[in-house]
C-alpha cells in the first residue's frame, strides 16, 4: 500500500474505493456479530466517546494558542507602526497585509472555538438521550420524565451503546471540523508572524538608512 502511494501519488480514486470497501466489510462484520447476540459493552463506547472528546479539546487548545499568538502579533504590529514616519507604498502594503492576516487568524480561531450543538446528520425526530441539546429540547421542564428515561437507558446496555455511538459519530464530525479550521488558523498565524517580521526588517533597514 505504501509503495503504491509512493509510485503513484495520484491514485486517490483507488484508495477511496479501497477505504470504502474496508468500511463496508467492517460494518458487515459488526452487523453479523450483533446478530449473533453478542452483548454490547457500554464501557468501550464511553472510552471511544472520551477519545473523540479529547480530539475536540486538542483542536480548541490549538485555536486558543493561535488566538493568543495573534494578540501578541497585533500588539507588535501596533508598536512597530505607530512611530514610523518614513512610509512607502511597499511599507503600507505590508502593513495592510499583516492587519488582514491577523484579522483572518482571529476569525478562524473564533470559528474553531464556537460551540457546535446542531447535528445535521440526525433526523429531526431522533432523540439522543445523552446529548445536552436533545435533552434540553425534548425534556424541557420535565426533569422527572428524563430521570426515568435515563434510568431505563442505563439499564439496557444495547440501547446505551447505541446512544453513545450516535454521540461518538456526532462528536467526531465536530472534532474534524474544529481540527480543519484550527489548521488554517495556525497557517494564517504563521503567515501573519512572517509578515510582521518582514515589517520589522523593513523598519530596521529604513532606520539604518536614515542614520
Query: What phi and psi, each to the nearest 5 degrees, are found at residue 71?
Result: -60, -40
Give 114's Cβ-side CA count (13 Å radius).
Answer: 11
Check pLDDT > 70 for residue 168: yes
**Model pTM above 0.95:** no
Average pLDDT over residues 8-37: 54
Check pLDDT > 70 for residue 30: no
Q: ∠103-107-109 over CA atoms, to 5°?
A: 115
Compute the distance between CA of residue 101 and CA of residue 20 in angstroms, rounded to an integer: 38
pLDDT at 24: 53
Q: What is the pLDDT of residues 98-109, one digit of tens each?
A: 999 999 999 999
Question: Could you please report the per-residue DSSP string of 108-120?
Answer: HHHHHHS-----T
With beta carbons less than 8 A apart as the criterion, state whether 47 and 97 touch: no
Largest CA distance in the chain: 85
Q: What is the pLDDT of residues 172-191, one digit of tens each?
A: 999 999 999 999 999 999 99
pLDDT band at 6 (very low <50, low <70, confident <90, very high): very low
Q: How many CB atoms lie within 10 A of CB 126?
A: 11
Average pLDDT over residues 151-168: 91
Give me the residue spans of the domains in the chain.
Answer: 51-119+133-209
Amino acid at each position: 500500500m505504501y509503495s503504491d502511494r509512493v509510485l503513484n501519488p495520484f491514485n486517490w480514486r483507488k484508495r477511496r474505493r479501497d477505504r470504502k470497501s474496508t468500511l463496508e466489510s467492517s460494518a458487515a462484520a459488526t452487523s453479523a456479530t450483533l446478530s449473533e447476540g453478542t452483548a454490547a459493552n457500554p464501557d468501550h463506547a464511553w472510552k471511544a466517546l472520551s477519545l473523540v472528546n479529547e480530539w475536540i479539546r486538542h483542536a480548541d487548545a490549538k485555536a486558543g494558542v493561535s488566538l493568543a499568538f495573534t494578540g501578541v502579533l497585533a500588539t507588535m504590529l501596533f508598536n512597530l507602526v505607530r512611530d514610523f514616519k518614513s512610509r512607502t507604498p511597499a511599507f503600507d502594503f505590508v502593513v495592510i497585509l499583516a492587519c488582514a492576516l491577523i484579522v483572518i487568524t482571529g476569525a478562524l480561531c473564533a470559528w474553531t472555538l464556537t460551540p457546535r450543538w446542531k447535528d445535521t446528520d440526525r433526523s429531526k425526530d431522533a432523540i439522543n438521550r445523552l446529548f445536552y441539546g436533545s435533552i434540553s429540547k425534548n425534556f424541557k421542564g420535565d426533569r422527572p420524565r428524563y430521570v426515568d428515561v435515563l434510568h431505563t437507558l442505563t439499564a439496557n446496555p444495547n440501547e446505551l451503546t447505541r446512544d453513545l455511538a450516535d454521540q461518538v459519530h456526532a462528536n467526531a464530525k465536530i472534532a474534524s471540523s474544529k481540527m480543519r479550521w484550527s489548521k488554517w488558523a495556525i497557517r494564517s498565524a504563521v503567515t501573519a508572524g512572517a509578515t510582521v517580521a518582514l515589517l520589522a526588517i523593513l523598519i530596521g533597514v529604513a532606520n539604518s538608512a536614515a542614520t
